[in-house]
Structure 1
Amino acid sequence: MRRQLVTVLGSTGSIGRQALDVVRARSDRFLLFGISANENIGLLIEQAHRWKPRYVACRHPLSPADFPEGTVVLSGESALAELASLDEPSLVVNGISGLAALEPLLCALKAGKRVALANKESIVCGHLLVEEALRDFGGELIPVDSEQSAIFQCLCCGRGGEIARLWLTASGGPFWQLSDEELSHVTVRDALRHPTWNMGAKITIDSATLFNKGLEVIEASYLFHVPAECIDVLIHPQSIVHSMVEFADRSVMANLSCPDMRLPIQYAMTYPERVPSPCERLSLAEVGQLTFHAVDRARFAGLRLAYEALFSGGTMPAVYNAANEAAVELFMEERIAFTDIPHFVEDAMLRHDVRPARLMLDILEADEQARHSVDRYLHTHF
């Protein structure tokens, strides 16, 4: 079998490192072509020497002398977009964090590639641009997030028009049973202890606030063309059931596995084939029980605000995302409390005049305005 060339964007992050694990485990199928990083240049250099990819890329300056002889080094603002557009690889794993993933995603789709997408923000903020690229250039997008991958797989059992409801599951993070008083004393160190998943710092905090689940609600609505009122969230502490789809006949399809991101990454890379994975086999007897709980949106405003952003549409989801990113940074710097985060986001949303998000400029302007709103709220309330 001829091996498929793969580019991993964000190879030094949590998703990127696990994607490389999949490439290693399935070296009979995949050959690493290119990698990229944002800040962790040291690890990028280490990965380049270990994997010997043909290309490496970073927005920050790179020294070719640091990389194996013959490596093509791309740097600068357009480096990631250039890497995503190169002809040779047919598969791009996009593990870039934040809105920075959108431009490389669009470039890969416009080059007709399959993109295994682990990034929520590019769909939340730029779904119209993504849909346009898919329609006009014939690329393919397979979701990697465990929840969206689960829905994607469940939909193999039915057609889009037969969907009655989507159920996204959330571990609840470490705090979903705490009182309001206890939540007000949560520290950064507390918030970075996720009970199930091993993820980056920002997404771990988003999981604790349920802003991550809010982003996934918006993403699911756009990916699968399901209205907000037909999407629900359940707390599922075991993180075994990743999502469920209820169909028109009231049957429900669920996707279950041990919590390991390598599985949805591999599925997106090998789809429609299923091949042996490096993941642990699920034993329901050992798990013992699967429990589900309703989410109190009044207590977890991050989820409530996501639905409001989705109902508003246009540039509002971009404001929701950017204001949360800025507020989480303030929390990680210990300048605000854990429970302050949704107040910053709600204020930014209230100040925003929604407009269509048809152009990249519309999205970037909304992002910038939201961050200015967070800064204004900080200086007027703290």
Structure 2
Amino acid sequence: MKRVSICGSTGSIGVQALDVVSRFPEQFEVVGLAAGRNVAVLAEQVRRFRPRVVSVASDEAARGLAALVGGAVEILVGDAGSEAVASLPEADFVLAAISGGAGLHSTAAAVRARKPVGLANKESMVLAGELLMGEAARHGVPILPVDSEHSAIFQSLAGHNRPEVRRLILTASGGPLRAVPQAELPEVTPARALKHPNWSMGAKITVDSATLMNKGLEVIEARWLFDVDPRRIDILVHPQSIVHSMVEYIDGSVVAQLGVSDMRGPISYALAWPDRLPLDLPPLDLTRLGQLQFETPDAARFPAFTLAYRALELGGTAPAALSGADEGAVAAFLAGKCRFTDIADLCADVLDAHVPEKVTSIAQALAASDAGRRAVERRVGL
């Protein structure tokens, strides 16, 4: 029986993870849940999975949850609460799925507590990847990727010699605006940018998919997860989202991971690793698909992803500043304070002004991210 804590249990990844867990009650037990303010969903999760400890974002949310579940569970609050859930002594595995920089605290707490981590929070690697991977190595705990692209890389590396890797190839759907002419992009509305053709995700990550910033952040994540020079990490647009990513080896062989677009696949792989779970997902029917398309990402129309390579070249806190700037710029776009094409420009301005420092603490990484976000907010008047 593997005992699991899920940080971000009411979000999309957390809900799907609990769906996987519920299908294998003989293999998994939920011991801790951390959420934000969605107490109605969390209360139902508490009733169904009976965790020992839960955490919410605020005292108000704690009171609301207590009114719904009574004394059925210990309720903690804030970052300290999510860190406690991530480091429960009885937990054998922690799924880190709190979105944004807020998830870094609990991810770091799990690593410090020597818990294997299933990482669905890319900001943890973007803000403090070198620091976290160093801590994980010292404590001898694995950080297993849950993002579909990084899970695909992880699976494609299995059984092969790392020195024989030539490059990693991250695939991108191209997002909802892949075929939109460059002249139309400044007038794209939030509603249009949020219509992703393949995935149902939160607003921020969907806009990041539209700008391709999401793919840039994934390059930063891959650089640290797999200890690969950024110059050997490429992006390939693949609209069908069937090939989730690939690894090219020095003999020219390419190993790819394919599958239907369903996050329960990578979630289950991290939960059960090194084993696999028999999921009831629909089989991949390549004959029905007919053909798979691949394109080079268009840096002229979608320059945001190029900023990630630049941030890695600058090093230190530069990726954290970029991540924060992107949070601010996307929020500004969704609030009608800037145009779609301003998102990349605002992020580039922050990167130009940033003086990077070596990341030595979680607090420092979060401060750099906050500074990037505030710089954008000042520019747009948020």
TM-score by length of 2: 0.96
2:302 aligned residue: 300
TM alignment of 1:78-227, pairs within 5 A:
78-227=80-229
1:257 aligned residue: 259
1:10 aligned residue: 8
SS of match in other structure, 1:165: strand
Residues 322-376 of structure 1, C-alpha deviations (whole Å, 9 max, x = no match): 0000110111111111111111101111110111112223212211221232123
CA contact (8 A) 1:160 1:224 kept: no
CA contact (8 A) 1:347 1:377 kept: no
SS of match in other structure, 2:158: helix
Query: In 2, distance between residues paired with 1:45 and 1:186?
Result: 38
1:18 alignment partner AA:
Q
Query: In 2, distance between residues paired with 1:337 and 1:278?
Result: 42
Residues 240-260 of structure 1, C-alpha deviations (whole Å, 9 max, x = no match): 000000011111000000010
Query: In 2, distance between residues paired with 1:228 and 1:312?
Result: 12
SS of match in other structure, 1:166: strand
Report how far residue 68 of structure 1 moved. Answer: 4.9
CA contact (8 A) 1:128 1:358 kept: no
Which has the larger displacement, 131-140 or 262-271? 131-140
Residues 173-219 of structure 1, C-alpha deviations (whole Å, 9 max, x = no match): 11111112221221111111110011111111111110100100111
Query: In 2, distance between residues paired with 1:86 and 1:118?
Result: 19
Query: In 2, distance between residues paired with 1:228 and 1:299?
Result: 22
Q: 1:32 aligns with which of 30, 36, 40?
A: 30
Query: In 2, distance between residues paired with 1:375 and 1:81?
Result: 29
1:60 aligned residue: 58
Query: In 2, distance between residues paired with 1:363 and 1:107?
Result: 15
> Which runs of 5 or more residues in structure 2 are unaligned?
none
Report how far residue 50 of structure 1 moved. Answer: 2.7
CA contact (8 A) 1:48 1:68 kept: no
SS of match in other structure, 1:250: coil
CA contact (8 A) 1:38 1:58 kept: yes
Residues 102-135 of structure 1, C-alpha deviations (whole Å, 9 max, x = no match): 1211111122211111011100111122123212
Report how far residue 30 of structure 1 moved. Answer: 0.9
Q: 1:41 aligns with which of 35, 39, 42?
A: 39
* Count of residue correspondences: 378
Query: In 2, distance between residues paired with 1:132 and 1:220?
Result: 15
CA contact (8 A) 1:241 1:257 kept: yes
2:362 aligned residue: 360
Give % identity. Answer: 45
CA contact (8 A) 2:314 2:356 kept: yes
2:3 alignment partner AA:
L
TM alignment of 1:281-360, pairs within 5 A:
281-360=283-362
Residues 83-117 of structure 1, C-alpha deviations (whole Å, 9 max, x = no match): 11111110111110011111211111122211111
Which has the larger displacement, 61-70 or 47-56? 61-70
Query: In 1, distance between residues paired with 2:204 and 2:154?
Result: 25
Query: In 2, distance between residues paired with 1:180 and 1:271?
Result: 43
Query: In 2, distance between residues paired with 1:147 and 1:77?
Result: 28
SS of match in other structure, 2:175: coil
Cα RMSD over matched residues? 1.4
CA contact (8 A) 1:163 1:245 kept: yes
Query: In 2, distance between residues paired with 1:172 and 1:178?
Result: 11
CA contact (8 A) 1:106 1:129 kept: no
2:275 alignment partner AA:
E
Report how far residue 58 of structure 1 moved. Answer: 1.2
TM-score by length of 1: 0.96
CA contact (8 A) 1:165 1:245 kept: yes
Residues 265-302 of structure 1, C-alpha deviations (whole Å, 9 max, x = no match): 00000011112013221111111111100111122111
1:270 aligned residue: 272
Query: In 1, distance between residues paired with 2:299 and 2:265?
Result: 30
Query: In 2, distance between residues paired with 1:314 and 1:307?
Result: 13
> Which runs of 5 or more residues in structure 1 are unaligned?
none
Query: In 1, distance between residues paired with 2:212 and 2:307?
Result: 10
Query: In 2, distance between residues paired with 1:286 and 1:25?
Result: 29
